[in-house]
């Protein structure tokens, strides 16, 4: 069996109408995608930003009347580029899994999807179920943080992974020698994913995972040897005083999820408490900023 995909490339003002039309025509599902490779960064709480040009795709049964569908959409959506193609039936779970491959992050660390065998049995292999939370090692900002962790001496260190996502950074820190990790995230799904991945790597007894308010209530006086945060520039700037409180004197810190144009503003936001002196960069303009907590302020 095949599926019919009818696509309409529209302006963001037409998106809601295009969705409604496709649903009224019997679409099994409707998805939105970027038509022009336009980056969307840091939406404010409650916002759902859209690209300037959006591809709205309706999925229909193969025997649907494609000519009638396209004619109707073209009439109702002036200026829209309407076209179609067919999608072959496949085992979707298998197709999703095939997207991932082991990733080497530095000299010692590999990130390995749990259904694959490690390429190097002698390496430090972090087995990962990507699940629904952010953080697989594929994104440049996650890779930059993993690479930084691989370069550090983490033996017996206390680490805070703020914005933990899948838990990949905190778990990597434990496998690299840290004695305890506190993983914090706003998303309950991320907390669950972190706990599950910790169990998968047999480090669940060394990691605490929870929401920010739970962390503050349970560990009001905690200070860490290492802080790693893969979020975005806006939240990172807001968190500067919090990280200053959580970091021991001369504690190490690494932050990613920032682009090159944001680096200097972030450095200035932290200058009162941290010496951020090392810049790591990867493709697509993503950067990592790292350094250490000042001994005294």
For 262-273, write each residue's pLDDT tens digit: 999 999 999 999
pTM: 0.70
Q: How far apart are CA 211 and CA 221, in angstroms?
A: 17
Q: How far apart are CA 293 and CA 291, in angstroms?
A: 7
pLDDT at residue 54 tops 80: yes
Q: How far is CA 189 from the centre of its chain?
A: 13
Q: Quick count: other Cβ atoms within 10 Å of Cβ 259?
A: 16
Confidence of residue 45 (pLDDT cuts 50, 70, 90): very low
Q: Encode pLDDT of 138-157 as tens digits.
A: 678 889 999 999 999 999 99
Q: Which pLDDT score, from 0 to 100, does residue 133 have?
A: 47
* Mean pLDDT score of the chain: 88
Contact 34, 55 (CB under 8 A): yes
Q: Which pLDDT score, from 0 to 100, does residue 116 have?
A: 82
Confidence of residue 135 (pLDDT cuts 50, 70, 90): low
Q: Which pLDDT score, from 0 to 100, does residue 232 have?
A: 86
Q: Which pLDDT score, from 0 to 100, does residue 42 have?
A: 46
Indicate the helix (H) or strand (E) that contains 19: helix 15-24
- Nearest-CA neighbor of 37 among 19, 49, 53, 15? 53
Cβ-proximal residues to 146 (8 Å cutoff; 6+ apart), any chain: 105, 106, 109, 111, 137, 168, 169, 172
Contact 224, 247 (CB under 8 A): yes
pLDDT at residue 129 tops 90: no
Confidence of residue 44 (pLDDT cuts 50, 70, 90): very low
Q: State the average pLDDT over residues 179-197.
A: 93
Q: How far apart are CA 262 and CA 152, in angstroms?
A: 25
Q: Which pLDDT score, from 0 to 100, does residue 20 have?
A: 92
């Amino acid at each position: 069996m095949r599926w019919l995909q009818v696509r309409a490339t529209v302006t963001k003002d037409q998106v809601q109408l295009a969705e409604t039309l496709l649903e009224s025509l019997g679409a099994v599902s409707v998805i939105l995608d970027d038509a022009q490779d336009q980056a969307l960064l840091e939406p404010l709480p409650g916002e759902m930003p859209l690209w300037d040009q959006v591809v709205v795709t309706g999925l229909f049964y193969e025997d649907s009347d494609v000519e009638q569908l396209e004619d109707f959409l073209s009439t109702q959506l002036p200026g829209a580029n309407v076209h179609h193609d067919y999608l072959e039936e496949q085992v979707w779970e298998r197709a999703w899994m095939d997207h991932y491959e082991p990733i080497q992050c530095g000299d010692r660390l590999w990130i390995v999807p749990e259904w694959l065998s490690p390429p190097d049995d002698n390496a430090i292999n972090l087995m990962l179920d990507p699940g629904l939370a952010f953080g697989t090692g594929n994104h440049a900002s996650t890779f930059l943080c993993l690479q930084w962790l691989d370069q550090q001496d983490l033996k017996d260190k206390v680490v805070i992974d703020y914005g933990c996502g899948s838990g990949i950074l905190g778990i990597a820190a434990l496998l690299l020698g840290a004695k305890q990790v506190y993983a914090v995230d706003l998303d309950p799904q991320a907390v669950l994913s972190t706990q599950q991945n910790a169990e998968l790597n047999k480090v669940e007894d060394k990691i605490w995972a929870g929401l920010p308010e739970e962390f503050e209530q349970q560990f009001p006086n905690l200070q860490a040897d290492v802080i790693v945060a893969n979020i975005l520039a806006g939240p990172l700037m807001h968190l500067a005083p919090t990280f200053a409180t959580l970091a021991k004197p001369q504690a190490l810190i690494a932050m990613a999820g920032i682009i090159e144009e944001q680096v200097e503003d972030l450095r200035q936001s932290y200058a009162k408490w941290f010496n951020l002196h090392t810049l790591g960069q990867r493709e697509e303009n993503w950067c990592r900023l790292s350094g250490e907590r000042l001994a005294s302020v």
